[in-house]
Chain A
């Protein structure tokens, strides 16, 4: 096993392990903290794929902003601090059976799927190319401008809904 594979295994364990704890945490707030750890693992996987820009987006948007939003959402939730009750209920067995069956169904499909192989490496100036294509009218200039309209819509919607009425 090369060093890079070892690092990959480390990040995979981090992502999956933290994801598991996210689901199993009894306290909603702890679940959010584990979710952030899992997102850190995903950022590491992006780095290993040489998708540095995506890794940066992952850190800035997901770890930096979305997780804060989720934390605020948890803190706004009524009864967050109350005893959350046992993590299992009487439907656990049925859920486990169905999830297991779904896994049995899905696993051969994923294993047998002809995943495409990358034919060429990541170009060294991938981020520069992204910057060029964002403003190139023949490529992504229109989606780029539309993105600002979407952010504007989200901003106005957020203010309209969340602002306290006077």
Chain B
């Protein structure tokens, strides 16, 4: 593999470096610049302005897990679209029908999830 292919990834490298740079500056600059007059109340954990209650690390409701699982499944569905979408102009009707069937089967799951209230938070 020639070195030239690395040039294609220079934008991604730049993005990573800029991201690290912004994060790094945001962490380091306040250490150097910000005035520090700590008081007991200021050093409390920040909880949107309210007085913090209970431990910070506690168990989360299982609802979050369901949301994450639904996210993964539709993420996997989307990944199948990429190679198909690159070719969709040169493919015949059959390809469209097959993708339609693929989406239709998942739509059944989507309707099931909807009807079972998986998208509703308060239940």
Q: Which residues of A contact B (CB under 8 A)?
A: 2-4, 7, 47-48, 50, 53, 56-57, 60-61, 64-66, 68-69, 72-73, 75-78, 80-81, 121, 127-128, 130-132, 134-135, 137, 141, 144-145, 147-149, 151-152, 154-156, 158-159, 162-164, 166
Contacts and interface: CB of A to CB of B under 8 A. Distances in A.
B72 A72 contact: no
Nearest to A121: B1
Interface string B1-12: 111011001000
Interface residues of B, number: 54
Contacts of B9: 47
Nearest to A79: B59
A81 B58 contact: yes
Given A60-B75, A152-B108, A135 B91 contact: yes
Nearest to B104: A148
Given A76-B59, A149-B105, A155-B112, A61 B72 contact: yes
Interface in B76-109: 76-80, 82-88, 91, 94-95, 98-99, 101-103, 105-106, 108-109
Contacts of A73: 65
Contacts of A154: 69, 73
With a 10 A CB-CB cut-off, give which of A48, A61, A132, A135 has the most chain B CB atoms: A135
Contacts of A166: 123
Interface of B: 1-3, 5-6, 9, 55-60, 62-66, 68-73, 75-80, 82-88, 91, 94-95, 98-99, 101-103, 105-106, 108-109, 112-113, 116-118, 123
A48 B1 contact: yes
B98 A135 contact: yes
The 7 A-B pairs with the shortest beta carbon distances in the complex, nearest first, are: A81-B57, A131-B83, A131-B87, A135-B95, A65-B72, A155-B109, A148-B105
Contacts of A72: 60, 64-65, 68
